[in-house]
Amino acid sequence: MSLLILGIESSCDETGVALVRSTGADVPTLLAHALHSQIDMHQAYGGVVPELASRDHIRRVLPLTQAVMAESGHTLAEVDVVAYTRGPGLAGALLVGAGVACALGAALGKPVLGVHHLEGHLLSPFLSADPPEFPFVALLVSGGHTQLMRVDGVGRYEILGETIDDAAGEAFDKSAKLMGLSYPGGPALSRLAEQGDPLAFKLPRPLLHSGNLDFSFAGLKTAVMTQAKKLGDDLEARKADLAASTQAAIVDVLVKKSLTALRETGLQRIVVAGGVGANRLLREQLNAACAKQRVRVHYPELHLCTDNGAMIAMAAAMRLQSGQQQARCDYAFDVKPR
């Protein structure tokens, strides 16, 4: 049976819409997707302004949906299921996607399905030309989450370790802010780091030898702040070195803990997902370390690392295919910000 699934993502500062086809057996196929990033709008404020985010999602979501349908060559009437991000994320922003998805579902007489944002990230490598096979270790590194998981199949997730304070993306963003870099900090910091010396400053690698798979990045942020203060007027001249040292510390912890997770589970495959998965140094170091251990590494395509509608449509399709969840027609939507 073939199903057309429309996916809507609106949890934070990207409005994403996509259409996938699920045939029941194979990995679902992405037919079309469209994305609008609000980064330019929030940049002036140094971070996401929730109210502005919600209003912009409202402006963008239907034109993006029309663009996706036009690109796919299908009509809305042909859509079988409308999926949306149910959470976590900004409440008002989530309500836009949920509201529009349920209104579309009700108007078309089609069922809707709420998707967990992190499951979207987790399954996003299945959108690539070389999708992974279960089971695998997953390193989920986004702006709000940092987790290592054992993934045995759709919906079969075991958390092996997670951050006890800040997420990896947060460590990038907050350190970047301390250095006066633009929002979002991750890409800005990693760009600056290309020109710096990663050994210039000795920064902590929190919980590196903790014996478990948990992470902690709050202490690193404090160390970066202390170092920035110490540099005073010299900060500007040494910024690239501080950025490179910060990035090296974050990546070092992510890579070493990932290798420990692989060793402990005995698995030979790792999937990296979430915005920080776009980081070049992380990819380089993880690829090199995994090549030595004959471990396969899978990433989402670079443009699908950060938030997008394709991963939401994909996660919905895979959930429906696995028979673990059914789309519903009650349209009594709720969102789960946390």
Q: Examine residue 166 and tell whether it contacts ligand KG4 (CB under 6 A).
A: no
Interface pick for ligand KG4 out of 184, 196, 198, 309 (rule CB under 6 A): 184
Instruction: Kindly list the strands in the beta sheet with 136-141, ordered across the sheet, starting from the edge strand earlier in the chain.
Output: 156-162, 146-153, 136-141, 269-273, 296-298
Q: Examine residue 279 and tell whether it contacts ligand KG4 (CB under 6 A).
A: yes
User: Which residues 1-20 are close enough to bind ligand KG4 by CB under 6 A?
Assistant: 12
Residue 187 interacting entry, from Zn ion, ligand KG4, none, C-beta within 5 to 8 Å by type: ligand KG4
Interface pick for ligand KG4 out of 173, 179, 260, 261 (rule CB under 6 A): 173
User: Which residues 85-124 are close enough to bind ligand KG4 by CB under 6 A?
Assistant: 121
Q: How far is the CB of 265 from ligand KG4 (least distance, A)?
A: 24
Q: Examine residue 10 and tell whether it contacts Zn ion (CB under 5 A).
A: no
C-alpha of 295 from chain center:
22
214 is in an annotated binding site: no
Whether the Cβ atoms of residue 10 and residue 61 lie closer than 8 Å to each other: yes
Q: What is the per-residue DSSP string for 213-226?
A: S-B--HHHHHHHHH
User: Which residues 190-229 are close enough to bind ligand KG4 by CB under 6 A?
Assistant: 190
Whether the Cβ atoms of residue 191 and residue 203 lie closer than 8 Å to each other: no
165 is in an annotated binding site: no
Interface pick for ligand KG4 out of 307, 309, 312, 313 (rule CB under 6 A): 307
Q: Examine residue 15 and tell whether it contacts Zn ion (CB under 5 A).
A: no
Q: How far is the CB of 54 from ligand KG4 (least distance, A)?
A: 17
The residue assigned the tokens 């579309």 is 104
* Helices (H) then strands (E): counts for the chain: 10, 10
Residue 169 interacting entry, from ligand KG4, Zn ion, none, C-beta within 5 to 8 Å by type: ligand KG4
Torsion, CA 32, CA 139, CA 276, CA 175, rounded to 10: 160
Residue 276 interacting entry, from Zn ion, ligand KG4, none, C-beta within 5 to 8 Å by type: ligand KG4
- Which residues are within 8 A (CB) of 314 and not within 5 positions of it... i.e. 6 or more apart? 7, 18, 20, 28, 30, 120, 123, 124, 126, 127
- Distance separating alpha carbons of residues 307 and 10, to the nearest angstrom: 9
Interface pick for Zn ion out of 307, 313, 318, 319 (rule CB under 5 A): 307
Q: Return the SS3 of 331.
A: coil
Interface pick for ligand KG4 out of 172, 201, 217, 299 (rule CB under 6 A): 172
Q: How far is the CB of 268 from ligand KG4 (least distance, A)?
A: 26
Nearer to ligand KG4, 69 or 151 (CB): 151
326-337: b (≥16 Cβ within 10 Å) or e: ebeeeeebebee
Residue 186 interacting entry, from Zn ion, ligand KG4, none, C-beta within 5 to 8 Å by type: ligand KG4
Token pair of 40 as six digits: 């330019």
Nearer to ligand KG4, 4 or 249 (CB): 249
- Distance separating alpha carbons of residues 196 and 96, to the nearest angstrom: 42
Interface pick for ligand KG4 out of 276, 310, 315, 320 (rule CB under 6 A): 276
User: Which residues 127-166 are close enough to bind Zn ion by CB under 5 A?
Assistant: 142
155 is in an annotated binding site: no
Token pair of 162 as six digits: 């997670």
Helix axes 235-265, 218-231, angle to 10 degrees: 160
Nearer to ligand KG4, 306 or 321 (CB): 306
- Distance separating alpha carbons of residues 305 and 203, to the nearest angstrom: 27
Q: Examine residue 315 and tell whether it contacts ligand KG4 (CB under 6 A).
A: no
Q: How far is the CB of 159 from ligand KG4 (least distance, A)?
A: 17
Could you list the residues known to form a binding site, using ranges. Answer: 117, 121, 140-144, 173, 186, 279, 307
Binding site for Zn ion (CB under 5 A): 142, 307
